Amino acid sequence: MKYLVILLLVVFPFGQLVRLPLFGTEAVLHLNDLAVILTLLVARPKFSGPVAKALGLFLAAAVISLLHNFTNFTTRELIISALYPLRFAAYAGLYFVFKKVDPALTRRWLVLATVIVAIAGLLQYLFIPNVSFLSALNWDDHYYRLVGPFLDPGFTGIIILLGLILAFLNFKNFITLLTFYLAFALTYSRASYLAYLVSFVALAWYKKSVKTAIIAALIMGATILVLPKSTGEGTKLERENSIIARLRNYQESLTIWQKAPIFGVGFDTYRYVRGIGPESHAGAGADSSLLLVLATTGVVGFTAYLNLLRVMWQTGKASLVFKASFLAILVHSFFNNTLFYPWVMEWLWITLGILSERSESKDLV
């Protein structure tokens, strides 16, 4: 099992760099997906307990939403959409695997995986600051922003933040923390910055340490002042275009939900309902994870998903790492489809697994 854990977390930093297209370009299998599937096949975890029940309810709601709308889509579209509940279940299965894995080993490799992501991102920022060429592959073009192996500053930002939280609470190695924060800051991701503030203020609250909150806020304030500015729009933290685009996206999600408020338009059919072509990397999701669930699975699925989040929180609330990570992801998910991003799901479920049923101690937080 030890070697499977290492394999899984060695593959993690490859991010979006290795993609295997399925059904043309409409569905993609990542190297990370293969590692997760292999882990589940070898470990053969037992799905039981409150988390399993809550997970089952949400997956049932997701499937029902697809069945309820099966006449609205082609067979190909339904098959592709049905793959996502399977992916979600696979990543959630990591919780049941890692309940039985040495937490110290897992924490070390999670931090190491983040180190690789951060260093890869810094190298990209230094040597390939202009990644506008990625627009030819239908990725967003960015100039002087750290995009890293996930090819997206927002998602790279939240991944590095999760590593920063884990390293801050467990290792406190100055070089590691500095590397993480520098890479994190250079993403210029406002959603990630807000997630950072919320997570560290929460840590200060739980630890009853006003000092932690003040230092975190001062560091962020100083960061905003000294960050290098380029001529590109992306490094302007006051940029308004993305705010307007997100507000329109929220409105679109609510409009789609109104078409089928009870069962939604079908889980993972968002791309087809919007009429977005398969070449887009963003068309399958909304800019808010919760609005995506509401639009695609309706009130039924939305209620089931909120219940799953509630059970996850109750299960992991003894751990500072999990609580801070959970809050960071939740805040970030208001601006990106973070809760369904494979690498974020992997991190969250693994963290819940290794920490949820262990009493909090000095070396296991």
At 364, the pLDDT band (50, 70, 90 cuts) reads very low
Identify whether the C-beta of residue 28 lies closer than 8 Å to the C-beta of residue 20: yes
Q: Is the pLDDT of residue 283 over 90?
A: no
- How far is it, in rounded angstroms, from Cα 179 to Cα 91? 28
- Residue 235: inside a domain: no
Over residues 185-244, the pLDDT tens digits come to 999 999 999 999 999 999 999 999 999 999 999 999 999 999 988 766 667 777 778 889
What's the predicted TM-score (pTM) here?
A: 0.94
Q: Is the pLDDT of residue 23 over 70?
A: no
- Whole-angstrom CA distances from 176 to 112, 164, 181, 201, 202 are 9, 8, 9, 21, 22
- Residue 363: inside a domain: no
Q: Write down the pLDDT at residue 237.
A: 79
- Residue 239: inside a domain: no
Identify whether the C-beta of residue 297 lies closer than 8 Å to the C-beta of residue 305: yes
Q: Write down the pLDDT at residue 221.
A: 96
Over residues 28-45, the pLDDT tens digits come to 899 999 999 999 999 999
- Residue 257: inside a domain: yes
- How far is it, in rounded angstroms, from Cα 89 to Cα 278? 23
Which regions of the chain does DSSP assign to beta strands (E)? 19-22, 27-30
Q: Is the pLDDT of residue 78 over 70?
A: yes
Q: Is the pLDDT of residue 89 over 70?
A: yes
At 25, the pLDDT band (50, 70, 90 cuts) reads low
**289, 181, 263: which is closest to 226 by C-alpha?**
181
Q: Write down the pLDDT at residue 360.
A: 43
- How far is it, in rounded angstroms, from Cα 118 to Cα 180? 6
- Residue 238: inside a domain: no
- Residue 7: inside a domain: yes
- Residue 362: inside a domain: no
Q: Write down the pLDDT at residue 279.
A: 57
Q: Write down the pLDDT at residue 161.
A: 99
- Residue 360: inside a domain: no
pLDDT higher at 135 or 157: 157
**Total number of domains in the chain:** 1
Q: Write down the pLDDT at residue 361.
A: 44
Range of the domain at 315: 2-42+53-229+247-355
Average pLDDT over residues 295-301: 98
- Quote the percentage of the chain above a pLDDT of 70: 93
